[in-house]
Amino acid sequence: MPDDELLFLSHRIPFPPNKGDKIRAHAIITHLAPHYKIHLACHIDDPHDLKYCSTVQAMLGGECLFLPLSRPAALRRALISAAAGRSLTEGYFDSPVMRRWIGDLLRRRPVKKALVFGSAMAPYILRQPELNAGRCILDLVDVDSDKWSQYAKASAIPKRWLYGFEARKLAQLERRAARAFGTTVLVSPHEAATFTSMAPESASKIYSICNGVDLSYFDPAQQHRSPYPEGEVPIVMTGQMDYWPNLQGAEWFAKQVFPQVAAEMPQARFYVVGANPPPDFLKKMAGVTVTGRVPDVRPYLAHARAAVAPLRIARGVQNKVLEAMAMARPVIATSAATRALLVTTKREVWVEDDPLLFARATIETLKNSELRNLGPSGRTYVEQHHNWDRLMSGFEALFNASNADIASEPQRPAPITFSARLAARV
């Protein structure tokens, strides 16, 4: 067991790796576990995840706090936080139990550094006198405040006011946290550039480490039984379906794009695959199937003729896109869903934003065998640029730098310029 000890804070349990933030958090702890005894404090917002607590604790080797999140209590805390002039997010994920647990751990254990996953967990370190935030890494992943700003622009009053308030208050928290933490990491050069423009005083401490994909799990060479009826031409969208951008994107494709596809290809069918959709979501749409939670998305990807990522609002790297590309499926996506990737339209994916053009791209991909070669090109892209082991070496370098004494101003790996990152396709 490693001697070095590390505190890892996450707004939800980093297992199983079945949705965006959990995929990244799981990859980080998997990579760091051989080098550190990891102490974990996290919320559990899905009762299905309670059965994984012992698996995670055995994996990390340290002490763990798994705190079930009561939605009514969290909403009350969020309102109190807003009334005090702070973000709703900060209150939603605040917990006196977690604060006491962290303080007690730090007094008992030789923990000198932490990795904080997401802006929601940053206040636990900012208010913690037992730990120097300058030794800690904050993985913002995405610029959440900008996502709330997008929500505000896409919503009517009063939601526009509420989302705008959250965008402003969360941006203040993100900027304050970046000043305090030794390093702030984001998931793509685009996210890092966005955040640097918001927090220029912390530019020298902002890094970009992209998401990867489990290439051995999402392997097109593996055999899966088709979940689709004979004779259909299935088009699939995967993703957590209690996440508004996914719902909005699926509805946009089902209502504005798919009818044009079905008119030309009556055998086409649109499958929305992901957990927790609203009960009546797209139920009456001809040619549309909403599956809900499935045990494995790979059969749906493996036997789809095409995958779509029709997101109108998005931040960061969309794992649904990487997974479909890894399964060598041709992907048609919006620019919002692909802006974090260094792809060329019609080479690794087909990018369109207009519903008519998106429909035409889908039809052409389904009909044209040459365009279906987008799939193998996408697989090659993720093999080259989204290998977890290679990407996680960036976190290892930052932690190695943080091993030095803060007072002596250690030699840190210099932040790569965003243009250099793009040129290197990091």
- Beta-carbon contacts of 182 under 8 Å, excluding residues fewer than 6 positions away, are 133, 134, 135, 136, 137, 205, 402, 406
Check if 5-212+387-424 and 233-385 are the same fold. Answer: yes
What dotted CATH number matches 5-212+387-424? 3.40.50.2000
pLDDT above 90 as % of the chain: 81
Distance set, CA 386 to CA 196, 255, 317, 373, 389 (Å): 23, 33, 11, 19, 9
pLDDT over 70 (residue 405):
no
pLDDT over 60 (residue 369):
yes
Strand boundaries in 217-349, DSSP class E: 233-238, 268-273, 288-292, 306-309, 331-333
Return the pLDDT at 421: 35
Distance set, CA 317 to CA 4, 19, 20, 118, 340 (Å): 31, 12, 9, 15, 6
Return the pLDDT at 392: 85
Domain boundaries, the chain: 5-212+387-424, 233-385
- Per-residue pLDDT, averaged over 390-407, amounts to 68
pLDDT in tens, 273-319: 999 999 999 988 999 999 999 999 999 999 999 999 999 998 888 99
Tell me the three state secondary structure of residue 24: helix
Closest CA to 139 of 31, 59, 249, 242: 31
Return the pLDDT at 419: 31
Cα 382 from Cα 341, distance rounded (Å): 10
Return the pLDDT at 415: 42
Cα distance from N-terminal residue to C-terminal residue, the chain: 32
pLDDT in tens, 77-133: 999 999 999 999 999 999 999 999 999 999 999 999 999 999 999 999 999 988 999
Cα 2 from Cα 310, distance rounded (Å): 44
Return the pLDDT at 424: 32
User: Whose structure tokens read 């719902």?
Assistant: 247
Cα 105 from Cα 383, distance rounded (Å): 40
pLDDT over 60 (residue 406):
no
pLDDT in tens, 309-342: 999 998 888 999 999 999 999 999 999 999 989 8
pLDDT in tens, 165-184: 999 999 999 999 999 999 99
Q: pTM score, two decimals?
A: 0.85
Return the pLDDT at 403: 53
Return the pLDDT at 3: 63
Beta bridge partners of 308: 332
Distance set, CA 190 to CA 195, 196, 316, 418 (Å): 9, 10, 8, 8
pLDDT over 90 (residue 411):
no
Cα 268 from Cα 233, distance rounded (Å): 4
- Treating both helix axes as pointing N-terminal to C-terminal, what angle do 20-32 and 53-60 enclose, rounded to 10 degrees? 30
- Per-residue pLDDT, averaged over 5-29, amounts to 93
Across the chain, mean pLDDT equals: 90
Q: What is the Rg, in whole angstroms, of the alpha carbon atoms belonging to the chain?
A: 22
Q: What is the CA 41 to chain-centroid distance, rounded?
A: 19
For domain 233-385, the CATH architecture is 3-Layer(aba) Sandwich (3.40)
